[in-house]
Structure 1
Amino acid sequence: MSQAVAEKTVKPKSAWSGRQLLVLLVIGTAALMVSLTQSLLVPVMTELGTDLNASSDGIAWLLTSTLLVGAVAVPAFGRLGDLYGTKLMVLVSLGALITGSLVCALSSSLAPMIVGRAIVGLSVATVPLSISLVGVILPREHSGAGIALISAMLGVGGALGLPLSGVVAEYADYHVLFWICVAGGALAFPLIAKLVPAPPRAGEGRMDFFGTALLGAAMLSLLLPLAQGEKWGWTDPLTIGLLVASVVLIAVFIVVELRIASPLVDVRTTRRPALLLTNVASLFVGFALFATLIGTATYVQMPEVTGYGFGKSILVGGLCMLPGGIIMLLLSPVSARLAPRTALIVGSLIIALGFASRIVLTDSLWEVILGATIAGAGTGIAYAAMPGLIAHATPVSELAAANGLNALFRSVGSSLASALGGAILAAKTIDLGGHALPSLGAYQLLFGLCAGSAVLAALLALVIPKHSATADAALPE
């Protein structure tokens, strides 16, 4: 009898309640909408240039402005979340998505659209903040699955953004893309405000505005030349000067953060092997994810006379990414059932397998889709594993800031992939009727780099300590 009573007592704790599922769905929707914004405009850049009567350099700022503002917002909003409430900062960042997307939806010229996209950059912090929020508000037995799902949205949004944009480019005006973001954000905002509980503030101290400015300057100095280096020239004094400045500013930032009582980033905690190795592995996985996007949609759109392309439309190029996005979403619970370290190893090796197949399987469209889907599956597992590793190595009072820093590392990895991938595809070309197009060898080199990047992430995961001294303090009760 006592055993039966015990089973009845334990069973409800392992079951999801309807409210918990609804809360996770609402937060997941917000994370998905923000993730969509990072790839949504890529297929319609040419149409934007024509409609706005803008040069390619001007149109590129629609992506660059979001990237640069997001690089500053992610760590800053993470720290503000620790100090003033994670739920509050989720709502603030989600409000930025709605406001910025609305500005873009109502714009018919380049300048206000760049302003709108810069405001959208503030919303990039929504995903790491949501990861921290879910980890605290859900019961301990469900927080792992919830965190895995929200984290996987980083990859899912990127993969789904391309086919969605392709459909809009084929059948509607590109402004519809911005209205979709407005509608999704406007739906999630009041539901989060009403349904999601506000956990107690975990952090103490004050906001480090000087450190925020230093880190922001360092990230701008790093990411701007990575975004513009192909146009400026990689040996241009401005490119080299900014990259050198970024190194100097990061060094100054570390020194300053070690000397103040309430730093933006606790360098002493961040340099612990568990956190440092996880963040560097995140950079390599972020590199592989973005290269999947640029190496699949454009690949299948290349004309058949290149010897490898399929001459497909923007819509078909985007749809090739759809199975990978779906598999990322479906496999995120798998990561939650594995130890985070094991999940990162397994996910990274699956990514490497997917890219290795892309090097040798080039004859049929289904082979391209298969390779991209395998890489997507690995990305979903690896992305979902990282917040668990962060939680095991970070005091709960710094959890939002630590997740924000981890997201920043992923963003830097994606920026490196964009810069290096663009340089490779521009350098190794074939001439067709006076037009220089990337060669098959260029894509194969890019896929090889991605496979190697994923293997490095797996090797780093192998040496991440299995247990941290702060694990018990980091995990929510």
Structure 2
Amino acid sequence: MTATADVTTEEALTDSLDPRAKTGLVVAVLAAAGIVVSLAQTLVVPIIASLPEIFATSASNTSWIITVTLLVGAVSTPVMGRLADMYGKKRMLLIAIIPFIVGSVVCALAGDVVTMIIGRGLQGLGSGIIPLGIALLHDVLPKEKAGGAIALMSSSMGIGGALGIPIAAAVAQFADWRVLFWAIGVAAAIVGVAIWRVIPVHEPKGHAHGFDFLGAVGLAVGLVALLLTVSKGAEWGWGSALTIGCFAAAALVLLAWGWYQLRRSAPLIDLRTTAKPVVLLTNIASVLIGFTMYAMNLIVPQVMQLPAELGYGLGQSMIQMGLWIAPMGLGMMAVSNLGAWISRIRGPKVTLTISGVVIAIGYGLVAIILATIGTRAPGDVDPTAILWTLILLLVAMVVTGCGIGLAFGAMPALIMGSVPASEKAAANGFNSLMRSLGTTASAAIIGVVLAAMVQNVGGHVIPTQAGFIVSLLISCGIALVAAVIAAAIPTKAKGAAAH
């Protein structure tokens, strides 16, 4: 591709508006894009139980409506990052939003499960918008503004996820579920226009080598096999031939892919860069942080919606549950500037270490609260006690959200401060993939724990109070491990604090 003239930060930010106003618009548009994309991940949560009836098929078939978005997002994110480094981040943002809009329309019109799965797969192509937005902010914002903006953009995934459940639950209860997808499609179209009009062009200087198509295919095959193993292992049976075969295929393909990437002069992902101590340890910590981000959403909503008569349930409706957990996402947003300040003064390594400790405290508090709930006698329903329990859970979840928000700002700062300019979007996309692996592992591990610790109540098999507490303690321990790994990141990363 012919190199396009490089547009400097100052030129981009002063083309039509005051620089400060332009900076604010850039951040607002990209944060809105991240929230819209993450909202799509939780749209189907309120209707999961109804999907088999809606599409007249089995629960196993409708589970692909969730799985396909994860698979497509995991594969496309690092690929889009590499393309953005080669051809421009704004261009790839616009390319990514188009299939997302089309997918939303397809889902809204879907009359069968196959069409719905196709639409959700197209929505998954928009998953790369968040890491692309982070990399673009790093390029075009003034140094003093970049840290907080990147933290806000990075945490938009959690913000959208937390806000999406109550919004989607309300719409699903009082309107046709298809309205959810029409609404998200319209929102994405508005965001697309805003990206086109507001986001500055910051073109790369060009690449001497073309895109690594074989590397992209190899990564796609390996990741799909790996993620299918993790996400479907419990359903297929961990010892089944299908699960073992998928895992073996993933290992062989990814090893061959790594060998091929190391011999390419212009690889899809530069594994030598990812092996740098700062990048490697940050990515390992990202897997663990991704685990803790998702585990809370697997545990607390179930407890809130279980009947209060059990002695440890809280008897909340889907909408009530969503409203109680929404502040967790707001906590992620609230600490974006604090995290940027800590990173600027002490380095993002310190911010990431603190985040692991704060997340662990949040999980520990929730475990203590659930243990206290367990002291209620079955059938003892005290509305005042339940209200106080909900308030305490809200506080604990906000603490957890603040920790996750700190981590989401620190991880891209560490990554982008340690890789060449020509690899920033690809490296950030790979880091986003690591978080996705963590969330997938969380669903599998927490699912196994809760499935193993169950009781039969009225003909229904439900997790025990001990199962929830064990899951919380596992997540607490993983957050502490993430803090230890973050503390081991070389201190030279301090220079990457803000930019």
TM category, shorter: over 0.9
CA deviation string 1:413-432 (max 9, x = no partner): 00001111111111110110
Equivalent in 98, 119, 144 of residue 147 of structure 2: 144
Compute the displacement of 1:391 (Å): 1.3
Distance 1:31 1:418 in 2: 22
Given that 2:30 and 2:133 are in contact with CA atoms closer than 8 Å, whether structure 1 keeps it comes out as yes
Aligned to 1:100: 103
Equivalent in 440, 447, 462 of residue 415 of structure 1: 440
Aligned to 1:361: 369
| Structure 1 segment 259-274 matched on structure 2, within 5 A | 259-274=263-278
Given that 2:149 and 2:336 are in contact with CA atoms closer than 8 Å, whether structure 1 keeps it comes out as no
Compute the displacement of 1:202 (Å): 5.1
Compute the displacement of 1:203 (Å): 5.7
Matched, 1:370 2:403: no
Distance 1:456 1:202 in 2: 40
Compute the displacement of 1:73 (Å): 0.2
AA at the equivalent of 1:113? M
Compute the displacement of 1:16 (Å): 6.7
Given that 1:81 and 1:400 are in contact with CA atoms closer than 8 Å, whether structure 2 keeps it comes out as yes
| Structure 1 segment 14-413 matched on structure 2, within 5 A | 17-201=20-204, 204=207, 205-339=209-343, 340-362=348-370, 363=373, 364-413=389-438
Q: Answer with 75-84 or 93-102: which moved more.
A: 93-102
* 1:345 to 1:16, Cα distance in 2 relative to 1, 3 A: farther
Distance 1:39 1:225 in 2: 22
Distance 2:408 2:42 in 1: 17
Mark the runs of 5 or more structure 2 residues left unpaired by the alignment. 1-13, 374-388
Given that 2:340 and 2:498 are in contact with CA atoms closer than 8 Å, whether structure 1 keeps it comes out as no
AA at the equivalent of 1:347? S
Distance 1:108 1:174 in 2: 13
Alignment size in residue pairs: 461
CA deviation string 1:13-32 (max 9, x = no partner): xx971111011111111111
Mark the runs of 5 or more structure 1 residues left unpaired by the alignment. 1-11
| Structure 1 segment 416-455 matched on structure 2, within 5 A | 416-455=441-480
Q: Answer with 441-450 or 39-48: which moved more.
A: 39-48
* 1:198 to 1:16, Cα distance in 2 relative to 1, 3 A: closer
CA deviation string 1:260-308 (max 9, x = no partner): 1110010111101100000010000000011111112122101123321
Q: Answer with 94-103 or 37-46: which moved more.
A: 37-46
Given that 1:297 and 1:320 are in contact with CA atoms closer than 8 Å, whether structure 2 keeps it comes out as no
Given that 1:350 and 1:377 are in contact with CA atoms closer than 8 Å, whether structure 2 keeps it comes out as yes
Q: Answer with 197-206 or 418-427: which moved more.
A: 197-206
Compute the displacement of 1:394 (Å): 0.7
3-state SS in 1 of match to 2:200: coil
| Length-normalised TM-score, structure 2 | 0.89
Distance 1:475 1:417 in 2: 30
CA deviation string 1:320-374 (max 9, x = no partner): 2111111111111111111211111111111100101111112322222222221
3-state SS in 1 of match to 2:462: strand
Aligned to 2:382: none
Given that 1:203 and 1:398 are in contact with CA atoms closer than 8 Å, whether structure 2 keeps it comes out as no
Distance 2:433 2:425 in 1: 12
Distance 1:102 1:274 in 2: 41
Distance 1:286 1:297 in 2: 18
AA at the equivalent of 2:286? S
CA deviation string 1:123-148 (max 9, x = no partner): 00110001001111111121111111
Distance 1:202 1:75 in 2: 20
CA deviation string 1:206-259 (max 9, x = no partner): 111111111111111111122211211111111122112222222111111110
Could you list the runs of 4 or more consecutive aligned residues of structure 1 that deviate by over 4 angstroms after TM superposition?
none
CA deviation string 1:85-125 (max 9, x = no partner): 11111111111211111110111221111100011111001
Q: Considering only aligned residues, what root-mean-square deviation do their CA atoms show, in Å? A: 1.8
Given that 1:136 and 1:199 are in contact with CA atoms closer than 8 Å, whether structure 2 keeps it comes out as yes
Identity of paired residues, percent? 37
3-state SS in 2 of match to 1:446: helix
Given that 1:103 and 1:113 are in contact with CA atoms closer than 8 Å, whether structure 2 keeps it comes out as yes
3-state SS in 2 of match to 1:377: helix
